[in-house]
A and B are shown apart, each in its own frame.
Chain A
Amino acid sequence: MALEGEYLGIQLFLGDEDPEIREFFEWCGRHELRLQRWKSNGLLSYPPGTASPWDGTPEFEWSPVAARGTVMSYSEVHHAILPTFREHLPYLLLRVELDQQRGQPTEHEAIRFLGNLVAPDGTLAPPDLLKQVGIGSRVKVVYVDVGEGFAIPQWTLDEDADPATPWRYDDGQTR
């Protein structure tokens, strides 16, 4: 069954022609983070695809993932392209490296999610919260419900982690 939803005024639609993407978001809808585990090599991959990015074989199962990681890069957006995001400026684009499978199968590989920094309730983070986050920040997943059985993963500060002092960009304008 197709998934339909709405997020920040954006219509979301996932049809049956892209089953891997639809199933990923169905798991998110159950507030579970699952990724494809490829039978040929036992590795997980992101984003969902039609075959293992390491060997092209198509057999996989949806495997639970520990939804914690570290911000390995970010951008702070001040100029929105879509009008709906203008109301939320500035917002952070986070590149979150999961702890699980970090440095596998080779040194520089990892599962690296794209997402926004959100408050614990899933709303896009306010300016004072943005300033606390940078490279090295520990984050955990938050599911934002966008439709019936349909959620998108976002990221919030992991309060259980030791507070790290993150690396933040500074050009003199940022403070």
Chain B
Amino acid sequence: MAELRSDTDTSSPKFLRDKYAIIGVGETAYTRRSGRTTKHMAVEAVRNAMNDAGLGPADIDGMMSYSAMDSTMSPAVGADLGIRLDFYMDVVGGGSSIEALVGLAMGAIEAGMCKTVVLFRSMNGATGMRMGGTGRGAPRFSGGQMFSGVYGLSSPAQMFSHSFMRHMHDFGTTPEQVAHVKVFHSQAASNNPKAYYSHRVTSDDVLSSRVIAYPLHLLDCCVETDNATALVVTSAERARDTRHTPARILSVVGRCNKPRMDDHYQHGPITRVAGYYAKDILWPNAGLGPEDIDVTGSYDAFTFTTLLQLEDYGFCEKGEGGHYVSDGTIALGGRRPNNTAGGHLCEGYTHGINMVVENVRQLRHDADDFCPTGPDGRRQHTYDYSEGACRQIRDVEVTANLGWGMPSLGSALVMRRG
């Protein structure tokens, strides 16, 4: 086999750093009973993202979405908004999709297929299709289910639990440390008018909530909600004319795998997640490292997913995640806050896109919290992080999103202000 040239290695740092940006974000309300279709919600979220960017239907020519076969497709959404598409793509996937789609949108524009792409995720995650199923209907198993479902393993909590439990065994990670992810995300959510769960909780609240599958309690698990969320990607040149400070894309990793993607427990360490591999693309391409990041968006399908990713992307040493998530680092006002809108544990469940939306707002220095609005129409942030006050972090310049599909699957995105 001919040797590949290193200068054509797609994972080497180069070309598209800084050349694309997210210029608009929008969402619907986070509810547990939307009472409407995914198309209805998607149209609202995309319209909000377009308005946020100051763009009309003629300005959008690309659209992409992701779903677990539980949503509506781009042409239906575009049609209701008067958009004629030159490019669209609707893919199957949950968490870890959005960062990958940002990269694909950049690729579509780079290839000349379109100029400005809307990305959305619309899901009735509480009242429609639920991850792991509802258990309704007569079960009939075949194929791969003979190695999972037949043993009573079907939900994400059950599927990931062996990695989480082994982490506690290997590194002495305590239930109370892990519970602090929920504690700090709930504090952030209490300063987010949109959050589905906006009350603050204690680690005792987490540990005394009912057990789902050890080591996960109910409050270690995210809140499934009905909602749609959208964002707009375009080139840095076009981003200059938009309403808000753009969130410039430095680096993206899309659906990076551990070995044995089919069953990563065969290829340990089982406490290792895909970020271990993704980091070697993410940081060189960004030209930055974890120490340069002001705010993280580490996916919180469960408290534990946040912790494992922060370790493997290098925000702390492997095994130190329990300390990192409980010592105040990730809190509002901490050294490097995580999921400042409350994440999936508190704000709502969107398969990762709301965590990107939040970081875009943080980079604009315009988080939609409870701070008063000044004469220029912008919020006057107080940096008072007590309940019902501010959640804008001071002087945010660079953010990282760490998307999670499962222990063996991750995506990531680094953005900077401007």
Residues in chain A within 8 A of chain B (CB atoms):
7, 9-15, 18, 21, 25, 45-47, 49, 53, 72-85, 88, 91, 93, 95, 108-112, 114-116, 135, 152, 167, 169-174
Contact = CB atoms under 8 A, between A and B. Distances in A.
Given A14-B142, A15-B142, A75 B155 contact: no
A171 B209 CA distance: 11
Contact of A93 (B134, B141, B161, B163): B161
Given A14-B142, A79-B210, A82-B135, A109 B267 contact: yes
Contacts, number: 150
A132 to B, nearest CB: 15
Interface of B: 132-135, 138-144, 146-155, 157-158, 161-163, 165-166, 168-169, 175, 207-208, 210-215, 217, 260, 262-263, 265-270
A76 B165 CA distance: 10
Given A18-B142, A95-B265, A73 B162 contact: yes
B interface secondary structure, majority: mixed
A49 B152 contact: no
A21 B143 contact: yes
Contact of B169 (A21, A73, A79): A73
B146 A21 contact: yes
Contacts of B158: 75, 77, 81, 93
Contacts of A47: 144, 147, 262-263
B154 to A, nearest CB: 5
B263 to A, nearest CB: 6
B207 A74 contact: no
B250 to A, nearest CB: 32
Given A14-B142, A73-B166, A78-B211, 16 more contacts: A10-B149, A11-B139, A13-B141, A14-B143, A46-B263, A46-B266, A73-B270, A74-B165, A75-B158, A81-B158, A95-B162, A95-B265, A112-B270, A135-B166, A171-B175, A171-B214
A13 B269 CA distance: 33
Nearest to B175: A171
A77 B169 contact: no
B374 to A, nearest CB: 46
A110 B266 CA distance: 6
25 contacts: A9-B139, A11-B141, A14-B143, A18-B143, A21-B144, A46-B263, A46-B266, A73-B162, A73-B166, A77-B212, A80-B152, A88-B152, A93-B151, A93-B152, A93-B162, A93-B213, A108-B267, A110-B268, A135-B166, A152-B146, A169-B175, A169-B215, A171-B217, A172-B207, A174-B214
Contacts of A74: 162, 165
Nearest to B176: A171
Contacts of B217: 171
A76 B213 contact: yes
A167 B158 CA distance: 19
A83 B157 CA distance: 17
Contacts of B146: 12, 14, 21, 25, 152
Contacts of B211: 76, 78-79, 173
Given A93-B152, A135-B169, A75 B213 contact: yes
* Nearest 3 pairs of A and B residues by beta carbon: A75-B161, A108-B268, A73-B162
